[in-house]
């Protein structure tokens, strides 16, 4: 599959009125556009934290195209779509004709013919969601559920919702992200969104082998020592270390990583006393984070999962509204 980047992400994912046609990346979106997603997600949250059902997508069909496994993301998208009264179809790509030699374009055209309205795409190749968005007809919305090392925009936005609800005004916040930022699509989505929403300071704490090469373009501060990077932080985000990274030369060993960068109660004490702790999951306990921290009173990890449903409901509804506007324009 050839992945085309001919269209810039912001141009491809917005219609002529600046509404979301697709949701492919947090990069290039305005503060107002990101805030609209957060506000819409908030509207689905009841005062007790439960999520309300709203039939905004009744009669619409959402197809989850996961070329890469992710039980949590797939499940939350399915729950979000059903809470909006959409019909949900999960395509098992490994067993589909795409694995038997059918081209991706042919598969998309056939799924479109089955009256799909939204494709939620997860793929191991960076740029896959952008490529698919450039191929579909104007009546189909594409949502990126994670592509390679590039972006995971709904995860980034559910993290922004968590921060906004529990830490307050972004302009007053110092956010520390710990771990493998070089290969993390989650971290990139978070950094782009934090910059746009006006975070006071964004820090990355990682061994040199796992630091992003383009850190100057990302506008972040790099730290190799965890204690230094955590000093005075309001928000602490621990990233998952992928299994393949644990066995690569980039990382000495899981034990050494935990000794130097694992988030323990003793190390968390360097952050502000009321700092919130987050993790995109799944958690590797005893590698990225201690159980006492993951299950502690500062942890919002389960809240993140809950907010993920509300954010994905918002994105599903907003992109469908953007598609309907695009169709009327056409």
242 annotated to bind ligand: no
- If residue 162 lies in a helix (H) or strand (E), which one and from where to where? helix 153-166
CA–CA separation, 328 and 118 (whole Å) = 17
155 labeled part of a ligand binding site:
yes
Distance CA 3, CA 322 (A): 24
| Distance in angstroms (rounded) separating the CA atoms of residues 72 and 80 | 12
182 is in an annotated binding site: no
Q: What is the CA radius of gyration of the chain?
A: 19
Q: In degrees rounded to 5, what are phi and psi of residue 289?
A: -155, 145
Question: Which residues have CB under 8 Å from 324's CB, separation 6+?
Answer: none
Residue 56: φ, ψ to 5°:
-75, -20
286 is in an annotated binding site: no
Q: Is 83 annotated as a binding residue?
A: no
CA of residue 124 relative to chain centroid, distance: 14
Closest CA to 304 of 222, 239, 229: 239
- 245 labelled as ligand-binding? no
Give the distance, in angstroms, between the CA of residue 268 and the centroid of all CA atoms in the same chain.
Answer: 24
Q: Annotated binding residue at 282?
A: yes
Q: Are 254 and 246 in contact (CB under 8 A)?
A: yes
Backbone angles phi, psi at 165, to 5 degrees: -75, -30
Is 240 annotated as belonging to a binding site? Answer: yes
Q: Please give the DSSP secondary-structure letter assigned to residue 176.
A: E
Is 312 among the annotated ligand-binding positions? no
Q: Is 122 annotated as a binding residue?
A: yes
Peptide bond into 286 cis (omega under 30): no
Q: What are phi and psi of 76, to 5 degrees?
A: -70, -35
Measured distance CA(63)–CA(315) in Å, rounded: 14
Given strand 174-178, what is the order of strands in its sheet? 221-223, 201-205, 174-178, 235-238, 276-278
Binding residues for L-aspartate: 100, 185, 240
Binding residues: 72-73, 100, 122, 152, 155, 185, 240, 281-282
Binding residues for carbamoyl phosphate: 72-73, 122, 152, 155, 281-282
């Amino acid at each position: 599959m050839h992945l085309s980047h001919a269209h810039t992400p912001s141009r491809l994912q917005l219609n002529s009125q600046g509404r979301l046609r697709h949701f492919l990346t947090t990069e290039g979106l305005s503060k107002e556009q990101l805030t609209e997603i957060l506000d819409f997600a908030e509207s689905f949250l009841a005062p007790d934290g439960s999520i309300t059902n709203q039939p905004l997508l009744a009669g619409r069909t959402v197809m989850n195209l996961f070329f890469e496994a992710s039980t949590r993301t797939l499940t939350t998208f399915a729950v979000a779509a059903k809470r909006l009264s959409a019909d949900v179809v999960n395509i098992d790509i490994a067993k589909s004709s795409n694995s038997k030699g059918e081209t991706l374009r042919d598969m998309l055209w056939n799924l479109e013919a089955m009256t799909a309205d939204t494709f939620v795409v997860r793929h191991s190749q960076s740029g896959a969601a952008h490529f698919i968005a450039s191929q579909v007809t104007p009546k189909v919305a594409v949502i990126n559920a994670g592509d390679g090392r590039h972006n995971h925009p709904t995860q980034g936005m559910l993290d922004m919702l968590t921060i906004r609800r529990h830490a307050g005004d972004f302009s007053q916040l110092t956010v520390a992200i710990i771990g493998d930022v070089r290969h993390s699509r989650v971290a990139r989505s978070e950094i782009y969104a934090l910059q746009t929403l006006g975070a006071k300071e964004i820090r990355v704490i990682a061994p040199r082998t796992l630091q992003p090469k383009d850190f100057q373009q990302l506008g972040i501060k790099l730290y190799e020592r965890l204690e230094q990077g955590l000093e005075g932080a309001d928000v602490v985000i621990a990233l998952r270390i992928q299994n393949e990274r644990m066995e690569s030369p980039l990382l000495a060993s899981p034990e050494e990583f935990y000794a130097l960068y694992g988030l323990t109660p003793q190390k968390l004490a360097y952050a502000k006393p009321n700092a919130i702790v987050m993790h995109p999951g799944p958690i590797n306990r005893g590698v990225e984070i201690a159980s006492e921290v993951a299950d502690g009173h500062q942890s919002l990890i389960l809240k993140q999962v809950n907010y993920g449903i509300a954010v994905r409901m918002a994105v599903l509804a907003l992109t469908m509204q953007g598609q309907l506007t695009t169709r009327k324009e056409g």
